[in-house]
C-alpha cells in the first residue's frame, strides 16, 4: 500500500541519488576496509534509514511493506553490506519487539532503534541449530525477577556492534520443541555476554557476524517479549515472514544492478569487430537476466501488497525468497560470464557481487527451508 505517492517518490529519488553518488563510489573501499565509512554511517542516520519501517509514533518513517520493498530494491543496487548496517534495526532486530512486544518494551527501545542510536541483532541460530530452529539449546531459566541465559548464538549479523539483542532461548527445558522457546530483549552491555571474533566470510565485506555467548547472563523478567513464555518461536517466525520479503526485494535490486553492469559492459566491449551486445549468445544472457529480475520484482510487489492488505503471506514470502535468492545467483553468474575474463577480476564490481549474493540463498532461511515452508503450507491448506 502506498500512502502518499508524491512523498514516496521523493524518498525513492533521495535514496537512489544516495546510492549512485555516495554508496556505489565507496563499494571498493567498503570491501577493502571491511567497514562502512563513518561519514556514510552518519549520513544514513540523518536520512532516517535506521527507522524506515518503524512506525511514525516511535520516530520512524512507518513504511508499509509495499513502500519498504520499493526502498529495498533501490538500496539493493549497491553492495548488500551497506544495507546490513541499518537493515537489522528495521528488520529482524526490531520487528520482534514491534510485532509482539508490550507497549512498555516498544516505548523503551524502539525510538532509539529508529534513529540508529542503538544497533540491534537477532539471535536465533546456534552451533547445532540452524534450519531446525526449534531445536535451539540456549536456556533461560527463571530466577526471581530475572532469567539466567546460557548458550551460544552463531553467525549473528551486526553481532560485533550490537547494543541490543532479540534472543530466542528455551524457558521450558522439558519442552524440546517450539513451545518451550521464549524471546528476550537483551541489552548488549549486560554482564555475562561475550562476543566471539568477527567471522571471516566469503563476501559481504563490511557486514560483520560473530558468535554471541551468554554465560549466566541475568536478564530482567520484564524483558521477555510480550510478557509471556512459550511465544518466542512464533515471534521469530513472524519476524522472518517479513524479513524474507525484505531480502527478496534486495535480491531484485542487486539483480537489476547486475543487469545494468552487464549491459554497459556488453555495449562497450568489442569482439569479432562488433560490441558484445550484438552477439546473440550474449543477448540471450542479457534477456534471461532482465526477464528474471522483472519476474522477481512482480512477485515481491504482489506479496508486499497482499501483506499490507492483511493477508497471511507466510507462503508467498517464502515463494519470493526462494525465487529471488536463486534468481540473483543466476543473474550474477551470467554477469560474470558476459564480462568474460574481466568478470573474474576484482576491479570489476560483478566479481564482488558474485560472492556477495551467495549468502541470499542461505540466510533468513535456506532455499530448502523455503521449499519446505511452501509445500507444507500447500498441503495444510488442501486438507
* Beta carbon of residue 158, minimum distance to ligand COS (angstroms, whole number): 11
Helices (H) and strands (E) in the chain, counts: 12, 9
Report residue 130 as a C-alpha cell. 540452524
Which residue in 72, 81, 5, 97 sits closest to 37, CA to CA? 81
Stretch that binds ligand COS, among 16-24, 160-168, 236-244, 267-275 (CB under 6 A): 236-244
The kind and range of the H/E element at 139 are: strand 139-143
Q: Contact letters (x/-) for ligand COS, 187-226, by CB under 6 A?
A: ----------------------------------------
Nearer to ligand COS, 110 or 181 (CB): 181
For ligand COS, how many residues bind (rule: CB under 6 A)? 23
> Can you tell me the distance from the alpha carbon of 54 to that of 32, in angstroms, rounded to the nearest whole number?
32
Q: 330 near 287, Cβ under 8 Å?
A: no
Alpha helices in 218-279 (DSSP H): 232-268
> Can you tell me the distance from the alpha carbon of 368 to that of 130, in angstroms, rounded to the nearest whole number?
12
Nearer to ligand COS, 179 or 196 (CB): 179
Report residue 46 as a C-alpha cell. 540523518
Q: Does 250 bind ligand COS (CB under 6 A)?
A: no
Q: Does 319 bind ligand COS (CB under 6 A)?
A: no
Q: Does 325 bind ligand COS (CB under 6 A)?
A: no
> Can you tell me the distance from the alpha carbon of 55 to that of 101, in angstroms, rounded to the nearest whole number?
14
Q: Does 249 bind ligand COS (CB under 6 A)?
A: no
Scan residues 122-181 and list those touching ligand COS (CB under 6 A). Answer: 122, 124-125, 131-134, 178-179
Residues 6 or more apart in contact with residue 26 via CB below 8 angstroms: 37, 40
Stretch that binds ligand COS, among 45-53, 212-220, 287-295, 358-366 (CB under 6 A): 358-366
- What's the DSSP call for residue 230? T
Q: Does 186 bind ligand COS (CB under 6 A)?
A: no
Nearer to ligand COS, 12 or 178 (CB): 178
Q: Does 234 bind ligand COS (CB under 6 A)?
A: yes
- Which residue is it, cell 518461536? 233
The correct pick among 89, 231, 289, 314 for binding ligand COS (CB under 6 A) is 314
* Beta carbon of residue 96, minimum distance to ligand COS (angstroms, whole number): 11
Q: Does 279 bind ligand COS (CB under 6 A)?
A: no
Scan residues 26-85 and list those touching ligand COS (CB under 6 A). Answer: none
Residue 71's SS3 state is helix
Q: Does 237 bind ligand COS (CB under 6 A)?
A: yes
Residues 6 or more apart in contact with residue 149 via CB below 8 angstroms: 138, 139, 140, 167, 169, 184, 186, 192, 214, 216, 217, 218, 219
Q: Does 255 bind ligand COS (CB under 6 A)?
A: no
Whether residue 364 lies in the annotated active site = yes
Nearer to ligand COS, 81 or 133 (CB): 133
Q: 211 near 195, Cβ under 8 Å?
A: yes
Catalytic residues: 364
Enumerate binding residues for ligand COS (CB under 6 A): 92, 122, 124-125, 131-134, 178-179, 233-234, 237-238, 240-241, 314, 363-365, 369, 372-373
Amino acid at each position: 500500500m502506498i500512502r502518499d505517492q508524491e512523498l514516496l517518490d521523493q524518498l525513492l529519488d533521495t535514496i537512489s541519488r544516495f546510492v549512485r553518488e555516495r554508496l556505489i563510489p565507496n563499494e571498493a573501499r567498503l570491501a577493502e576496509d571491511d567497514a562502512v565509512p563513518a561519514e556514510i554511517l552518519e549520513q544514513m542516520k540523518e536520512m532516517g534509514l535506521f527507522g524506515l519501517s518503524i512506525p511514525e509514533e516511535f520516530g520512524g518513517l512507518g513504511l508499509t511493506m509495499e513502500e519498504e520493498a520499493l526502498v529495498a530494491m533501490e538500496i539493493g543496487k549497491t553492495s548488500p553490506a551497506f544495507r546490513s548496517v541499518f537493515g537489522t534495526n528495521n528488520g529482524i532486530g526490531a520487528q520482534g519487539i514491534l510485532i509482539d512486544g508490550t507497549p512498555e518494551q516498544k516505548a523503551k527501545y524502539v525510538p532509539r532503534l529508529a534513529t540508529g542510536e542503538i544497533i540491534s541483532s537477532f539471535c536465533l541460530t546456534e552451533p547445532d541449530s540452524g534450519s531446525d530452529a526449534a531445536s535451539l539449546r540456549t536456556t533461560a531459566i527463571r530466577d526471581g525477577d530475572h532469567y539466567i541465559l546460557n548458550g551460544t548464538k552463531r553467525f549473528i549479523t551486526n553481532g560485533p556492534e550490537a547494543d541490543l539483542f532479540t534472543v530466542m532461548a528455551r524457558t521450558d527445558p522439558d519442552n524440546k520443541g517450539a513451545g518451550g522457546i521464549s524471546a528476550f530483549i537483551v541489552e548488549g552491555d549486560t554482564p555475562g555476554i561475550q562476543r566471539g571474533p568477527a567471522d571471516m566470510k566469503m563476501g559481504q565485506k563490511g557486514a560483520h557476524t560473530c558468535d554471541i555467548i551468554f554465560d549466566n547472563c541475568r536478564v530482567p523478567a520484564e524483558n521477555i517479549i510480550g510478557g509471556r513464555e512459550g511465544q518466542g518461536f512464533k515471534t521469530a517466525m513472524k519476524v522472518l515472514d517479513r524479513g524474507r520479503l525484505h531480502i527478496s526485494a534486495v535480491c531484485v535490486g542487486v539483480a537489476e544492478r547486475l543487469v545494468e553492469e552487464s549491459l554497459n559492459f556488453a555495449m562497450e566491449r568489442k569482439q569479432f569487430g562488433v560490441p558484445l551486445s550484438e552477439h546473440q549468445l550474449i543477448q540471450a544472457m542479457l534477456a534471461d537476466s532482465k526477464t528474471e529480475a522483472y519476474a522477481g520484482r512482480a512477485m515481491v510487489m504482489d506479496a508486499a501488497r497482499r501483506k499490507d492488505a492483511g493477508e497471511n503471506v507466510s507462503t508467498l514470502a517464502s515463494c519470493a525468497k526462494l525465487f529471488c535468492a536463486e534468481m540473483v545467483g543466476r543473474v550474477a553468474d551470467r554477469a560474470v560470464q558476459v564480462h568474460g575474463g574481466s568478470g573474474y577480476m576484482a576491479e570489476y564490481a560483478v566479481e564482488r557481487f558474485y560472492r556477495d549474493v551467495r549468502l541470499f540463498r542461505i540466510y533468513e532461511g535456506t532455499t530448502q527451508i523455503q521449499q519446505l515452508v511452501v509445500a507444507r503450507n500447500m498441503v495444510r491448506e488442501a486438507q
